[in-house]
Structure 1
Amino acid sequence: MTKTLRAVSLTALMVSAFAAPAAAELKYENNSGGYVKLYGQLNPAIISVDDGQETETNVRDYDASNSRVGLEVIQPYGANTFQFRFETALGLPNSTETSQLGNDFGGWTRQDIRHVDFSLKGDWGKVSAGQGSMFADGAAEQDLSYVGLALYSFTADSNFSFLFRDSAGVLSGPTVGDTTDDFDGSRRARIRYDTPSFNGFSFGAAWGRNVLADDDDRDYYDFGTYYSNEFAGTKVNAALAYQVREGDGSAKREDLIGSASVLLQSGLSFTVAAGTRDVDSDMDTDPNYYYAKVAYETEDWLPNVGKTGIGVHYWDGADFNTDGSDSSVWGVGVAQRIEEYNVDTYLTYQNYAYDDSTNDFDDLSTIVLGARWRF
């Protein structure tokens, strides 16, 4: 049975993304080398999820890069640079808030605040304080491919809350979000330090708290390294990080994550990621995964329109949700830049499989057609 497309207000956002010309940069400079910049984006998508028996199609704000607005202030301060950043999601109906059981739209809440961040940067490195990225945020998602805007190592943005059906057709399985993850770092109210770059390498560490949640008094800390360089037109990005969550009477959780991506001058790219989680409790599992993607991008196919990217990826995990379980995701995608309107369009198909010792579950598949407009 196919449920009809819900024509929610996000449809209008998708139309506006294509109809609006590229906006001029909203940047206001002062006489001392500083500036204030307003920015944001809209990212609506048509998302169709097939759980093996029913298909549900909706228009939602796509969580892979949700709609948001922000304000950035940059000001030179002697030999250093001061930065303030405020950014929040818009709280539109989100792709992670829908399942076969209905919708769980919360509207805008304080957990939609992404950044209230102050930093000072100089030759000695960079110190950041406030709500913002922990050092491990991005360590599992280094990706130089253009199609990476919709096809990357975290595979559950489009269907996070959808449940797997068991062999009897009952929605008795775990959700997609329970069975796949990349353990990437998060945003917290934190103190963070980044070293200067040494031949492409930078190191850093952070400690923070989840102040946007009422019931989370745990400590979060991490450290690691990032690498970025270019050799004769070949670009390389990589990261490795270790992160810990502990305290408040909960089990200590430790993650080791890493990723690397290479973009050749020809447009061909290769991306890999892997992670393992250790939870200090007999009540929890210790999952792990690996990820790989091959992609290609070119401006030759539609030279008067913009860059085109295509890619195929595979994610494989073990012990997610319960010990002895197996999870896998494979997908293909295409992305198209429309320069005239400052829009990135994308189309992806992904197939999700999950099995454990209790039952066999039907595969679940998802198609996403979306457009991201930035200003």
Structure 2
Amino acid sequence: MPSFTLAGVVFLGIAAVHGPASAEGLKPIEYTFGDGTVIRLYGQINMGVLSYDDGQVTDTNFVDNDNSSTRAGLQMSSTRGDWNFGSTFEVEYQPLASNDVSQVNHTPDWDFGQKNIRKAEITMANERFGKLWLGQGSMASDGTAEVDKSGTTVVAYASIPDTAGGYFFRFEDDDLSDIQVGDAFSDFDGLGRKFRVRYDTPKYNGFGLRASYGVDWVADDADAQYDIAATYDGDFDDFVLGGAISLSRNETNDTNFLAGSVSGLHKASGISLTLAAGQEDTDGPSGYYGYTKLGYERDFFDIGSTAFSVDYYLGKDIAAEASDSQSVGLAAVQNIDSANLSLWLLWRNYSYDDNNGEYETSQAFFGGALFKF
């Protein structure tokens, strides 16, 4: 069954289960047992049309939005005294993703297996002692380069390759190079999701620490990976402020990552500013980058907030020594609260330069919708 047809069937099925929408959005799919234990089904469908112009040829496909992939999960939580116990099992399914499609790859991968498991974890948390995580899920450094208050992260944030990351840059002499967008751009956002043990300290005046140790179980890689991160969340009268920084070690490829981000939102105006930076230390090219984003979010319409952003990314030595990577993006998101729906649109350009030749500047147009349940 084509992916867009499958998505439509799932959407209609979920809508039927939810029943009619209200101004507050669709009701959660959950059940509460007599002892207070809550079990909840959740997920999202996030798909759109991606058009990539490599400077000479335009390629257009219907894809899953890898900035926030299509997924579903089952979550259970229970409180016993001062302790909260939880478990989560979550999978994603994106046969043709916006970071995989390319000039030479238009074929969906319908297989479903171990690689589709995002989370399979249990947790225990206490306000005084912190939180312990066991199983497949986010390492301590996951998301530390991606703190963002702009309201447009559904389609634009520091991870530039999530849109068009599989496409190849084209030489000005007509031939495709072997450099993909995903090779030239990275936000070095730590270690992602692994099979791990993780501990988060309690928050003190908005500050927290977390650390984890794990292996890449999904990729059958037993080499150790470990990290430590510091975070901050503050809500003031006029501003909301968030930040994170992490140091990560991947023994598999003898690589260290340092990454961080900070984002602030002025409540009255809806203006936000986001900054991110990171560096890779490895035997190969040790790249680094800087990223900045200006956002604006307001309630122009009764249906939900509208958000706009412009961002800029500059990378050095990421794909190869003496290489430069630059990208500018313009994004817009319209939320429809009563339907748990967000309509999004992105234009992004990509430029790359190294000592192996002259490359065309490319650009992507990406539009679609996110539905959450």
CA distance in 1, matches of 2:83, 2:277: 36
Share of identical aligned residues, percent? 34
Q: Deviations over 1:41-93 (max 9, x none)?
A: 10011110000111111111111111111011101123211010010002432
**How many residues get paired?**
360
Partners of 2:58 and 2:305 in 1: CA distance: 32
Q: Could you say if the C-alpha distance between residues 91 and 334 of structure 1 is closer, same or farther in structure 2, counting changes exceeding 3 Å?
A: closer
Name the residue aligned to 2:31. Answer: 28
Q: Secondary structure at the match of 2:152?
A: helix
| 1:75 and 2:69 are equivalent in the alignment | no
Q: Describe the shift of the 1:63–1:292 C-alpha distance in structure 2 as closer, same or farther (beyond 3 A).
A: same
Is 1:233 the counterpart of 2:238? The answer is: yes
The question of 1:314 aligning with 2:312 is answered yes
Task: Give the TM-score of the pair, scaled to structure 2.
Answer: 0.93
1:31 Cα shift? 2.2
Q: Which residue of 2 aligns with 1:354?
A: 352
The match for 1:64 among 51, 67, 92 is 67
Contact 2:61 2:106 in 1 (8 A): no
Query: 2:204 corresponds to which residue?
Result: 198
User: How far off its partner does 1:340 sit?
Assistant: 2.5
Change (3 A) 1:17 1:270: farther
Range that drifts further, 72-81 or 200-209:
72-81
Q: Alpha carbons of 1:24 and 1:92: their partners in 2 closer, same or farther (altered >3 Å)?
A: farther
Q: Which range is displaced more, 73-82 or 286-295?
A: 73-82
Gaps of 5+ in 1: 1-6
Offset from partner CA, 1:207-232 (integer Å, 9 cap, x none) = 00001113x22211000111001111
Q: Any residues of structure 2 matched to 1:206-355 within 5 Å, and which? A: 206-214=212-220, 216-247=221-252, 250=253, 252-265=254-267, 266-279=269-282, 281=283, 284-299=284-299, 301-302=300-301, 304-355=302-353
Q: Distance in 2 between the 1:116 and 1:104 partners? A: 29
Kept in 1, the 8 Å contact 2:3–2:95? The answer is no
AA of the residue aligned to 1:100: Q
Superposed displacement of residue 14, structure 1? 6.1
User: Normalization by structure 1: what TM-score?
Assistant: 0.92
Counterparts in 2 of 1:120-135, with a 5 A limit?
A: 120-122=124-126, 123-135=128-140
Structure 1 residue runs of 4+, over 4 Å off? 14-22
Distance in 1 separating the partners of 2:198 and 2:260: 19
Q: Distance in 2 between matches of 1:201 and 1:187?
A: 23
| Cα offset, 1:362, TM superposition | 0.3
The alpha-carbon deviation at position 104 of structure 1 amounts to: 5.0
1:45 aligns with: 48
Residue identity matched to 1:120: M
| Secondary structure at the counterpart of residue 135 of structure 1 | coil
Q: Distance in 1 between matches of 2:9 and 2:197?
A: 41
| Matched residue type, 1:357 | N
Give the letter aligned to residue 170 of structure 1.
D
- Report the counterpart of residue 7 of structure 2 in structure 1: 13
**Alignment partner of 1:159 out of 140, 145, 164:** 164
Q: Is the 8 A contact 1:97 1:105 kept in 2?
A: no
> Given that residues 166 and 173 in structure 1 are in contact (C-alpha distance below 8 angstroms), is that contact kept between their aligned partners in structure 2?
no
CA-atom RMSD in angstroms: 1.8
Separation in structure 2 between the aligned mates of residue 297 and residue 72 of structure 1, nearest angstrom = 31
Contact 1:10 1:61 in 2 (8 A): no
What secondary structure, in the 3-state scheme, does the structure 2 residue paired with 1:111 have? helix
